[in-house]
């Protein structure tokens, strides 16, 4: 068992750690997506919030599966950063206090 763990290179360990961090970063993106969904759905506010929160569980699961299925770390991080920036900007623009 010790030989199997010792044979893993440091680059491989960093690769896996980066994917785990990206999976954790998906939580922030999922939160931003659910905020935007709650703001744009044309249903009563309480129902929109609850619906977007329920949908966020599925979104988070899909994002985590996507993080571990894409081959390029650059693609993963670039997509997460750009998507988070876009959804963050969209959420900020849609908030009622943003116009003040």
- The total of structural domains in the chain comes to 1
Q: What pLDDT tens digit does each residue of the chain (100 aa) get?
A: 555 566 778 888 998 999 999 999 999 999 999 999 999 999 999 999 999 999 999 999 999 999 999 999 999 999 999 999 999 999 999 988 765 5
Residues 6+ apart with CB under 8 A from 98: 92
- Decide if 37 is inside a domain: yes
pLDDT score for 54: 96
Query: Residue 38: inside a domain, yes or no?
Result: yes
Q: Is there a domain that residue 4 lies in?
A: no
Q: Give the span between the Cα atoms of 67 and 71, in whole angstroms.
A: 9
The answer to the question of residue 91 being in a domain is: yes
Query: Does the CA dihedral 10-14-15-20 come out positive or negative?
Result: positive
Q: Is residue 47 one of the residues assigned to a domain?
A: yes
Instruction: Flag whether 5 is in a domain.
Output: no
Whole-prediction pTM = 0.84
Residue-range definition of the domain harbouring residue 74: 20-99
In a domain, 89, yes or no: yes
Residue 41 near residue 48 (C-beta atoms within 8 A): yes
Q: Residue 33: inside a domain, yes or no?
A: yes
């Amino acid at each position: 068992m010790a030989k199997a763990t010792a044979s893993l290179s440091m680059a491989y360990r960093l690769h896996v750690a980066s994917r785990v961090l990206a999976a954790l970063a998906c939580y922030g993106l999922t939160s931003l997506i659910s905020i935007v969904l709650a703001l744009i759905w044309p249903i009563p506010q309480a129902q929109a919030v609850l619906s977007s929160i329920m949908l966020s569980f599925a979104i988070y699961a899909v994002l985590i599966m996507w993080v571990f299925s894409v081959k390029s770390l650059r693609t993963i991080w670039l997509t997460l950063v750009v998507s988070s920036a876009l959804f963050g900007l969209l959420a900020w623009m849609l908030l009622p206090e943003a116009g003040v």
